[in-house]
Amino acid sequence: MPQGVLYLIVGPSGAGKADLIEAARRKLAEDDAFVFPRRIITRSDSMGGGEIHQAVTPAQYDRLRRDHGFSLTWSAYGANYALPASIHDDLDAGRNVVAMVSRTVVEEARNKFSSVEVILVTTSRPLRRRRLAARGEALDLIVTRLDRDALPVAADHRLQTDGGIEAALPRLMSILREGRFSQPTGRRRSMLTGMAAANLR
């Protein structure tokens, strides 16, 4: 079975990554060829910035890391982040995984996984500032996040969200559905197999 694709969503804070991923997850809710794992973060649910995630304590995070419970880990803004180790099984089973990560782990991911597509999501600085302020971020943290714009990344695809999440969503769906490595699995593969068998009758 071909490996699934690991789609890494990256970009500066306030670009709308979490909202874009959630919109794609809803669109693909009935398609088990795609998996949207929750990030594991050492921050409370009330500090999630709108992102659905698994909150853990620093002690729990350290224990999971020692027990090889993570696939990728990084730190930013005083918190530790991780993707669960379960994505290895998903990719081995031919499922495509869509996750938001830091740009600092892209190279590690490319070395660790056989099929990686990096999608860079960006927007204008003034709009990012407004979005971060609307999330209730402290002014000093907003400045810190805005100053990380220059962090480089080698992206396979680029999306702009200045026109809103709904305007950018069709482009993301096209990337996910038409990726050159994408393979149908589970329910979708059964449907295609059934259609092919019907055509042979």
Is 145 domain-assigned?
yes
pLDDT at position 37: 96
Count of structural domains, the chain: 1
Distance of alpha carbon 105 from the chain centroid: 12
In a domain, 44, yes or no: no
Confirm if 2 and 91 have CB atoms less than 8 A apart: no
C-alpha span between 93 and 115 (Å, rounded): 13
Is position 111 within any domain? Answer: yes
For residue 47, is it within any domain? no
Cβ–Cβ < 8 Å for 69, 53: no
What is the CB neighbour count within 10 angstroms for residue 103? Answer: 20
- Evaluated on CA atoms 89, 28, 52, 168, the torsion sign reads positive
pTM exceeds 0.85 for this model = no
Where residue 155 sits, what CATH number does that domain have? 3.40.50.300
What is the mean pLDDT of each successive set of 10 residues along the chain, which is 201 residues long? 91 88 95 96 63 90 97 92 97 97 95 95 84 76 69 86 93 86 39 34 31
Q: If DSSP codes are grouped into helix, strand and coil, which group holds residue 72? A: strand
Q: Report the alpha-carbon distance of residue 59 to residue 77 in Å, rounded.
A: 18
Q: Are the beta carbons of 168 and 20 closer than 8 angstroms? A: yes
CA-to-CA dists, residue 105 to 17, 82, 128, 180, 192, angstroms: 16, 10, 22, 23, 36
Q: What is the pLDDT of residue 197?
A: 34
Any domain includes 69? no
Residue 50, pLDDT score: 58
Give the pLDDT confidence score for residue 44 in this predicted structure.
63
Please give the pLDDT value at position 150.
Answer: 57
d(CA 90, CA 87): 5
Indicate whether 187 belongs to any domain. Answer: yes
Looking at residue 52, its pLDDT comes to 80
Decide: 121 and 7 in contact? Cβ < 8 Å.
no
Show the tokens assigned to 95: 């499922």
Determine the pLDDT at residue 179: 65
Tell me which residue range forms the domain holding 189.
6-37+95-196
pLDDT at 45: 52
For residue 146, the model assigns a pLDDT of 72
- Dist. CA 123–CA 73, nearest whole Å: 25
